[in-house]
């Protein structure tokens, strides 16, 4: 018998064979990663070369909460791997932990994956390779995921070059290492042309984690209330025996204390980093309050100069009254 001969395939048959082979390769590739964490494909959720602030707010809330979960997880493992960055000008140790870096990884690189053109400034620094073992956040753009269904958020488009995002992956690290967990927050701030527009402050510890956010002139979480006439009519007595000075840690915590009306002023007399105050600044001003330096200058968040050397005052009312009583000479002599 003659088994010799020629097999001929038409073009359709060749295309089918090639297609099946490609699908097989894709299938094998998708199953070859084993148990390694998968990084989602980069998806730029900007529209028409602009960034949608509604989407950016939703992302900011989710990354702050995801960063908080990393902070809590490291604390539960009781393996902080604490190191020091050195000392502040005031001689206080400035620690950094594994939680700072893990929170930074998920917050910074999740934002960069979803908004590749976004300028993000973080307190911490890690390469993407150092963060490769973490699962980056898969962004859920459904607003009801992170906000009340009764809150309507508009689509506001901003050129990416006008936006700077400041993140603090773990505010109050020193207190974190000392188990003073009520002061610990993770924060995201969105500044447009240098002005803080969106602030997100997440408290990961407590009976339940709690997130507060505000978008200037648009919306805010129900636990934050704009100033009213009763607050505007606070006593105009000078600092004296009837004034209670409360010692607290964490710029995010203290800014929220002002925003929620638990205290009337937050005063900081030494240098402070902008990622520590940007989110709180946005929230305070969204509710009708004010935050300035002690020389009555608004903080500019558009540049990369990360340090504010001129102190800080945050109030919900009578801002000028407080400033007048915080003269530079008194501040230098009696630091608070």
At 239, is the pLDDT very low, low, confident or very high (cuts 50, 70, 90)?
low
Q: Which of 170, 215, 212, 213 is nearest to 195 (CA)?
A: 215
Q: What is the pLDDT of residue 21?
A: 63
Spatial distance between the Cα atoms of 255 and 204, rounded to a whole number of angstroms: 16
Full-model pTM: 0.78
Residues 6+ apart with CB under 8 A from 232: 317, 318
Q: What does the pLDDT average to over 13-40?
A: 50
Q: 110, 137 in Cβ contact below 8 A?
A: yes
Q: 331, 269 in Cβ contact below 8 A?
A: yes
Largest interatomic CA distance in the chain: 115
At 152, is the pLDDT very low, low, confident or very high (cuts 50, 70, 90)?
confident
Q: Which structure tokens are listed for 102? A: 């893990």
Paired sense of beta strands 185-192 and 195-203, if any:
antiparallel
Residue 324 predicted with pLDDT over 50? yes
Q: Could you give the 3-state DSSP secondary structure of residue 290? A: strand
Q: Exposed/middle/buried for 235, CB within 10 Å: 0-12, 13-18, 19+?
A: exposed
Higher pLDDT among residues 139 and 154, named by residue: 154
Q: What does the pLDDT average to over 276-297?
A: 96
Q: What is the pLDDT of residue 142?
A: 72
Q: What does the pLDDT average to over 40-52?
A: 64
Q: What is the pLDDT of residue 179?
A: 96
Residue 232 predicted with pLDDT over 70? no
Spatial distance between the Cα atoms of 273 and 39, rounded to a whole number of angstroms: 31
Q: What is the pLDDT of residue 11?
A: 63
At 238, is the pLDDT very low, low, confident or very high (cuts 50, 70, 90)?
very low
Q: What is the pLDDT of residue 3?
A: 41
Q: Could you give the 3-state DSSP secondary structure of residue 219? A: strand
Q: What is the pLDDT of residue 321?
A: 86
Q: Could you give the 3-state DSSP secondary structure of residue 81? A: coil
Q: 80, 74 in Cβ contact below 8 A?
A: yes
Residue 258 predicted with pLDDT over 90? yes
Q: Which structure tokens are listed for 30? A: 């998708």
Per-residue pLDDT tens over the stretch 98-127: 999 999 999 999 999 899 999 999 988 876
Q: Could you give the 3-state DSSP secondary structure of residue 283? A: helix
Residue 157 predicted with pLDDT over 50? yes
Spatial distance between the Cα atoms of 41 and 53, rounded to a whole number of angstroms: 21
Q: 49, 124 in Cβ contact below 8 A?
A: no
State CA 15 to chain mean position distance. Answer: 50
Residue 42 predicted with pLDDT over 60? no
Q: What is the pLDDT of residue 303?
A: 72
Annotated binding site: 123, 168, 170-171, 276
Q: What is the pLDDT of residue 247?
A: 66
Query: Which residues make beta-bridge pairs with 139?
Result: none
Residues 6+ apart with CB under 8 A from 218: 153, 154, 156
When mean pLDDT is compared across 16-20, 46-50, 175-179, 252-256, the lowest value belongs to: 16-20
At 225, is the pLDDT very low, low, confident or very high (cuts 50, 70, 90)?
confident
When mean pLDDT is compared across 63-77, 127-141, 195-209, the lowest value belongs to: 127-141
Higher pLDDT among residues 210 and 144, named by residue: 210
Q: What is the pLDDT of residue 22?
A: 57
Q: What is the pLDDT of residue 9?
A: 52
Annotated binding site for Mg(2+): 123, 168, 170-171, 276
Residues 6+ apart with CB under 8 A from 204: 65, 68, 69, 71, 72, 184, 185, 186
Domains detected in the chain: 51-220 (3.30.540.10), 229-333 (3.40.190.80)
Average pLDDT score over the chain: 81
Q: Which structure tokens are listed for 74? A: 């490291």
Higher pLDDT among residues 5 and 208, named by residue: 208
Neighbours of 19 (CB within 10 A): 10
Q: 150, 98 in Cβ contact below 8 A?
A: no
- Mark 96-108 as b/e (b = at least 16 C-beta within 10 Å): bbbbbbbbbbbbb
At 4, is the pLDDT very low, low, confident or very high (cuts 50, 70, 90)?
very low
């Amino acid at each position: 018998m003659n088994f010799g001969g020629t097999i001929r395939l038409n073009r359709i048959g060749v295309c089918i064979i090639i297609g099946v082979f490609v699908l097989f390769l894709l299938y094998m590739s998708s199953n070859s990663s084993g148990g390694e964490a998968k990084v989602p494909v980069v998806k730029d959720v900007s529209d028409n070369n602009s960034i949608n602030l509604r989407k950016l707010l939703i992302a900011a809330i989710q990354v702050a909460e995801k960063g908080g979960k990393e902070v809590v997880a490291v604390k539960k493992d009781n393996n902080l791997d604490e190191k020091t960055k050195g000392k502040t000008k005031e001689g206080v140790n400035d620690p950094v932990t594994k939680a700072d870096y893990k929170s930074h990884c998920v917050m910074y690189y999740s934002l960069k994956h979803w908004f590749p053109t976004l300028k993000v400034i973080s307190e911490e620094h890690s390469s993407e390779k150092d963060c490769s073992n973490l699962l980056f956040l898969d962004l859920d753009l459904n607003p009801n995921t992170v906000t009340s269904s009764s809150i309507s958020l508009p689509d506001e488009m901003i050129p990416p070059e006008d936006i700077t995002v400041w993140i603090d992956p773990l505010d109050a690290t020193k207190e974190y290492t000392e188990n003073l967990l009520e002061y610990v927050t993770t924060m995201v701030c969105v500044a447009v042309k240098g002005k803080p527009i969106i602030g997100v402050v997440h408290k990961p510890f407590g009976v339940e984690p709690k997130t507060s956010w505000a978008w200037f002139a648009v919306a805010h979480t129900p636990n934050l209330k704009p100033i009213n006439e009763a607050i505007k009519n606070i006593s105009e007595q000078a600092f004296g025996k009837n004034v209670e000075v409360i010692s607290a840690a964490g710029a995010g915590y203290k800014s929220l204390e002002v925003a929620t009306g638990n205290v009337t002023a937050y005063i900081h007399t030494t240098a402070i980093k902008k990622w520590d105050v940007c989110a709180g600044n946005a929230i305070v001003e969204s509710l009708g309050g004010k935050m300035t330096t002690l020389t009555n200058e608004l903080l500019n968040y558009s540049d990369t100069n990360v340090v504010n050397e001129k102190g800080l005052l945050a109030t919900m009312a009578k801002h000028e009254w407080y400033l007048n009583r915080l003269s530079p000479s008194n501040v230098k002599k009696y630091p608070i």
